Amino acid sequence: MKTLTVALGERSYPIHVGRGLLDRGELLLPFLTQPRAVIVSNSTVAPLYLARLADALRGVGVEVAEIVLPDGEQFKDWQTLNTIFDALLQRRSERSTTLVALGGGVVGDITGFAAACFQRGMPLIQVPTTLLAQVDSSVGGKTAINHPLGKNMIGAFHQPKLVLADTDTLRTLPDRELHAGLSEVIKYGLIRDLPFFEWLEENLESLLSRESPALAEAICRSCENKAEVVAADERESGERALLNLGHTFGHAIETGVGYGEWLHGEAIAAGTMMAAQLSAQLGWLASADVDRVERLLRRASLPVRGPTLDVERYLELMYNDKKVQGGHLRLVLLQRIGQAVLTDAAPLPEVRRAIAGRSVNA
């Protein structure tokens, strides 16, 4: 097991990465304020892993309740959130009961938001089971649900007490989901870590064939990057926005085609290509580097073109982005591979050209 730390003063917390961690209740116990926990999972992950985690907690004397949500991005909404509150109230959960999110980013985000709101805030532990959640969504305290008009629009910052990433859970992950997770892994190389990008170019096949040492390395290096950024800028007043490379375009894709149609990581991959293309149009990124980004995303079986949405529809959705300030679109673009910048300098005609050039029939 390797342990990293998200350094946030008295709210600092560890990220444990390793094999077989689901069975180790003693790793969670020190982070529980009272020996009661409610595990929230979904209808796909619960049959695979819920009993193991619950048994591990009961084995160290913790009273455990379970909430199982429907599976899917389309359920990351008010109605499903309310079912968590219903269950917590029916079970007389207290402010110091700990919520444990067991699943991918959808379960993590909605459970995190429930923990932020219930009785004005209860402790949260993240137990991510997708690659995407292990490298990104479980770390950093962003929690949210979607709104029909915009992705992750309703939410709160609520840091977990602990992140427990059991890499063995990735064995049951469908290929498409593994690929989607690689999109966020590649993101860290692109925005701030050229050596990691080069490592990914070297080791992608090992990741695709799920070799444990390669997966552990990719997860740890991703979490190191994310932990550094979050420690420097928890509430996204600056540097943290760079973690949103491809997201303004990608969130527009997810909302535009309907939640759950494109996976989050797939939308981010196509959005990353739009950002790379725009960066090249502005004279920042060499066109050879745009090709290099595209090659790596393609090798990871990720889409490098957006879906058939009208360019104006893209723009309409992009103006709902949380980075819009004073009515101005702000985008994360690339100055080179390994260096990103948040900018409002892209003229709208260039943004339109990048979307049209990197989407199907736009």
Name residue, tokens 């739009």.
274
Partner touching 160 among ligand GLY, ligand NAD, none, CB below 5 to 8 Å by kind: none
Do 155 and 268 meet the contact criterion of CB atoms below 8 Å apart?
A: no
Angle at the Cα of 235 from the Cα atoms of 240 and 260, rounded to 5 degrees: 70
At 242, which amino acid appears?
L
Task: Name which of 97 and 244 has its Cβ closer to ligand GLY.
Answer: 244
Interacting stretch for ligand NAD, rule CB under 6 A, among 136-144, 198-206, 288-296, 346-354?
Answer: 136-144
Contact call for residue 41 and ligand NAD (CB under 6 A): no
State yes or no: is 120 an active-site residue: yes
State yes or no: is 264 an active-site residue: yes
Contact call for residue 306 and ligand NAD (CB under 6 A): no
Task: Name which of 192 and 264 has its Cβ closer to ligand NAD.
Answer: 264
What residues numbered 242-271 form the site for ligand NAD, per CB under 6 A?
A: 264-265
SS3 content of the chain, % helix, strand, coil (to 5): 55, 20, 25
Size of the site for ligand GLY (CB under 6 A): 6
Do 12 and 31 meet the contact criterion of CB atoms below 8 Å apart?
A: no
Contact call for residue 150 and ligand GLY (CB under 6 A): no
At 91, which amino acid appears?
R
Least separation in angstroms between CB 245 and ligand NAD: 12
Least separation in angstroms between CB 95 and ligand GLY: 26
CA distance 90 to 103: 23
Task: Name which of 112 and 338 has its Cβ closer to ligand NAD.
Answer: 112
Name residue, tokens 């149609």.
261
Partner touching 240 among ligand NAD, ligand GLY, none, CB below 5 to 8 Å by kind: ligand GLY
Structural tokens at position 71: 């599976």
User: Alpha carbon of 262 to those of 36, 181, 266, 358: distances in Å?
Assistant: 37, 13, 6, 16
CA distance 63 to 59: 10
Q: How many helices (H) and strands (E) does the chain have?
A: 14, 11
- For ligand NAD, the binding residues (CB under 6 A) are 42, 44-45, 48, 71, 73, 76, 103-107, 109, 129-130, 132-133, 136-137, 140, 142, 152, 169, 172-173, 177, 180, 264-265
- Contact residues toward ligand GLY (CB under 6 A) are 136, 140, 142, 240, 243-244
Catalytic residues: 120, 142, 184, 226, 236, 240, 244, 247, 251, 264
